[in-house]
Amino acid sequence: MEEDQSYFGTEDIDIEQEIQDLKKKKTSQMELVWLRFKRNKLALIGTAILFLLIFVAIFAPILAPYDPLETNVARRREDPSRDHWLGTDQLGRDLLSRLMYGARIALFIGLIIVGVSGGIGVTLGLLAGTIGGWVDEVIMRVVDAFMSFPVLIFGIAFAVSFGGGLYPVIMAVGLITWTQFARVTRGDVLAIKQEQYIEGARAIGESRFSIITRYFLPNVLPSIIVVATIQMPSAILYSAALNFLGVGVEPPTPSWGEMVNAGSRFMQFRPNMVTVTGLAIVVTVLAFNFMGDGLRDALDPVRRGGR
């Protein structure tokens, strides 16, 4: 790192080459994040599990040994066997197949909920943090109000009043979980606001919109990603819980919540239904958490900078 070079005059440089290098740089920055991420074994395992889950969800029709809706009254509540690896439920449907199809619903719900709540939360958090004053005051009071809501009861009420299907439940949970995004975004924005580079951006004449999109957003992004990976499992848990309580996905569509619900009635003599489905939920939740932890650590050094 030699600092004392010629002070004047342009060196002979290949402009094309420089443009190429600039493009390459973006990827190498991602490689660095990946290198750090790789070091965290738990995060790697979590990510692998999630990929497996996504694979299973996408290819459920091919992978599942049975139609998840096909009933067989003769073979109800069976223990695991060669025909049915995880056993059957109270209507004789294959548990493994239902679990696979259930993953589709679980991931779909998780993604939509995080998308909805992330979109709302980040936007409001950015507004609250950058504008401040009464806007901040109003938004944060709304957040407080939402945070003191009992999610499940609100979800049931909301879902029931809108007909109890899948989408009302997604909306209900999404409307509740956005607060975390808003709070984290606003907190980060307030910290970044104190940084001199924001003042520097104003000094070169950046517009308000540019400052938000080019300076605030990229710097809060690492936090948002982490919140998303934490909110994803809780969204899955909430929707499973609502399912369990009887709102949400309509039977006979396979969903993990409904499966736990059904299984719980026969828990004393056929525990496999509850345990297997419960395990699927736990593993998914943990996988997301591990990946989130890893991502946070991997993204952090870039954000903090330092010498």
Point out which residues bind another protein (CB under 8 A).
1-11, 13, 15, 18-19, 21-22, 24-25, 29, 195-197, 199-208, 210, 214-215, 218-219, 301-307
Nearer to another protein, 33 or 245 (CB): 33
**Which two structure tokens, joined as six digits, stand for 264?**
């719980």
CB of 217 to another protein, least distance (A): 9
CB of 186 to another protein, least distance (A): 19
Nearer to another protein, 62 or 204 (CB): 204
CB of 8 to another protein, least distance (A): 6
CB of 211 to another protein, least distance (A): 10
CB of 225 to another protein, least distance (A): 13
User: If DSSP states are collapsed to H, E and C, what string results for 128-188?
Assistant: HHHHCHHHHHHHHHHHHHHHCCCHHHHHHHHHHHCCCCHHHHHHHHHHHHHHHHHHHHHHH
CB of 117 to another protein, least distance (A): 24
CB of 184 to another protein, least distance (A): 17
Nearer to another protein, 18 or 31 (CB): 18
Nearer to another protein, 163 or 306 (CB): 306
Nearer to another protein, 5 or 268 (CB): 5
Q: What is the DSSP string of the chain?
A: ------SSS-----HHHHHHHHHHHHHHHHHHHHHHHHH-HHHHHHHHHHHHHHHHHHTHHHH-SS-TT---GGG-SPPP-SSSTT-B-TT--BHHHHHHHHHHHHHHHHHHHHHHHHHHHHHHHHHHHHH-HHHHHHHHHHHHHHHTS-HHHHHHHHHHHTTSSHHHHHHHHHHHHHHHHHHHHHHHHHHHHTSHHHHHHHHTT--HHHIIIIIIHHHHHHHHHHHHHHHHHHHHHHHHHHHHTT-SSPTTS--HHHHHHHHHTTTTT-THHHHHHHHHHHHHHHHHHHHHHHHHHHHHHHHH---
- CA–CA distance, 231 with 174 (Å, rounded to integer): 10
Nearer to another protein, 54 or 203 (CB): 203
Nearer to another protein, 153 or 203 (CB): 203
Nearer to another protein, 111 or 225 (CB): 225
CB of 301 to another protein, least distance (A): 8
